[in-house]
Amino acid sequence: MITRILFLALFALAATMTIPDAFAPGKDVDVSVLSTAQADRLFTEFKSHTEIPFNYPPDGCYARATAMSKIAEEEKIEMGKVWATGYLRVKTKSKYTPTIEWGYHVAPVVYVSDGGKPKLMVFDPSLFDKPVTVDEWTAKMNVDGNPKPHLDKIYYGARYQFGPLDTEPKKYSWNKEDIETSKEVMEEYTETEKKLEALGEGFNGGGSFFGSGSSGSSSGQTGQGVR
């Protein structure tokens, strides 16, 4: 794991830009601007945290996004969050849950600049091996099938937000209950990761999992769960 001292040196002077805050219409959220190299290092840092169950994508995006945002904050990086809502279908890197359907998905964002105009980039190690643009992120969740997937809305909020827009008010700081829930969810799904891995080749991961909310679980080849 990259040490905190190195990260503080890398990010102490990070600039900020803004994203619109859907939880406070007319207001904006400050988000850090990183170089491409800094963003890549941050992505690698996230992946090194084995307590975050990136290999269990059916559920827990809200917990993973919160955990990553808090890690970044400790390194003086201000992340925002992006939500996509609709009937979303994605092919994942997981051999156990190769196709998943969600009602919404959320991940943290920062601006990244390679010397030109900064681009808003999404950090989602459950789906990608590097930071990607919002367009690349949403395109990933548009895998054809029956019923046909559709993207209803994309919106942004502060790192403190936990659930979707229709489930909670504007938050100005970390909520203790949200942090505790994130920890519990990640512990549960880390154990699920281990159990699935133990099944090895005996587990048939060819089905589709469905998620439609902000907490819950998936079960069976066509089991129902909530995102």
Amino acid in position 81: K
Instruction: Read off the pLDDT of residues 97-138 as tens digits, 9 standing for 90 and up.
Output: 889 999 999 999 999 998 889 999 999 999 999 999 999 999
User: Considering the chain, what percentage of its residues have pLDDT values greater than 70?
Assistant: 81
171 contacts 161 by C-beta, under 8 angstroms: yes
To the nearest 10 degrees (0 to 180), the angle between helices 61-74 and 36-47 is 120
Please provide the CATH number assigned to the domain covering 13-88+107-188: 3.10.620.30
- The pLDDT, as a whole number, for residue 200 is 67
What's the pLDDT band for 3 if we cut at 50, 70, 90? very low
What is the pTM for the complete model shown? 0.85
On the question of pLDDT at 214 being above 50, the answer is no
- Burial per residue of 177-186, b for 16 or more beta-carbon CB atoms within 10 angstroms, e otherwise: ebeebbeebb
- The pLDDT, as a whole number, for residue 12 is 41
Question: Closest Cα to residue 53, out of 32, 40, 38, 68?
Answer: 68
On the question of pLDDT at 56 being above 50, the answer is yes
Compute CA distances 85 → 79, 97, 115, 155, 192, whole Å: 20, 20, 32, 9, 25
- The pLDDT, as a whole number, for residue 1 is 46
What's the pLDDT band for 174 if we cut at 50, 70, 90? very high
